[in-house]
Amino acid sequence: MKIALLALVATAGIAQADIITQWDFNSLPSDNSSSTGTLTPNVGAGTASLVGGTTASFASGNASGGSTDPDASLNDSGWNISTWAAQGTGSGERGVAFFGSTVGFTDIIVTFDQRHSNTVSAFFGVDYTTDGGATWTNAAIFQATAGDTWFNNRTVDLSSVAAVENNPNFGFRVVAVFAPTGGYVASSPTGAYGTTGTARFDMVTVNGVIPTPGALALAGIGGLLAARRRRA
Ligand SMILES: [Ca+2]
Ligand SMILES: [Ca+2]
């Protein structure tokens, strides 16, 4: 019995981190043009949608230093978002949203690359939902320190949020928000905020961990031992 338990403990240590869903926005098959792309995930299943009246096009994932997309060809697209709220209005109401099931996964971590133009809001918030978008909870605020620049591997660690695990109605949104000082500020320290600025997204990824059979068996054995102790 003791040997079996030790074996299970060893197995339980090898939890596998996986990509649940990923959007690289690149046309499949390639058409060698970054101005065309797709909202169909390249890994997993999910939807990408506009929030609050923003508009979208596809544009290069390589320009301005580039995203982390390993595709260095002309087909590397990012999802290019514009039509932001007027100064002093609509903080947290415009941007993009991504939905995809996390059923079968724990330890959810969201990562994405985001290019800020000079005049788009320097501040973006990330909110998550566990009920398909009926309610949202803010999890992070990111600040750009320059314009015409990619900020890669922005990371929102939700591994301590049990409600987002194993959830068919998980989603998150990235929305422009006011600066802490009030109102929108431009991403370029020398620029002025404008509604026609752009935020470009690439490699939007939902990561998770598949609980191993060993971990599950260990949890089961732990339960049995606890039950036995309770009976004793
Ligand atoms: Ca293309
Ligand atoms: Ca791309």
pLDDT higher than threshold 80 for residue 35: yes
The stretch 182-210 carries a mean pLDDT of 97
Structure-model confidence comparison of residues 232 and 169, the more confident one = 169
Alpha carbon of 34 to ligand 2 centroid (Å): 8
Domain range summary for the chain, segments of one domain joined by +: 15-231
Give residue 112's pLDDT.
98
Both tokens of 54, joined, read 């923003």
Ligand 1 centroid–CA 167 distance in Å is 32
**Model pTM?**
0.87
Query: In the CATH hierarchy, which top-level class contains the domain 15-231?
Result: mainly beta
> Which tokens in the block code for residue 26?
């690149």
Higher pLDDT, 96 or 8: 96
Neighbours of 226 (CB within 10 A): 10
Report which of 226, 180, 191, 206 is spatially closest to residue 41, judged by C-alpha positions. 206
Q: How far apart are CA 178 and CA 12, in angstroms?
A: 44
Q: Give distance in angstroms: CA of 78 to centre of ligand 2.
A: 5
pLDDT band at 124 (very low <50, low <70, confident <90, very high): very high
pLDDT at 10 over 80: no
Mean pLDDT, the chain, integer: 90
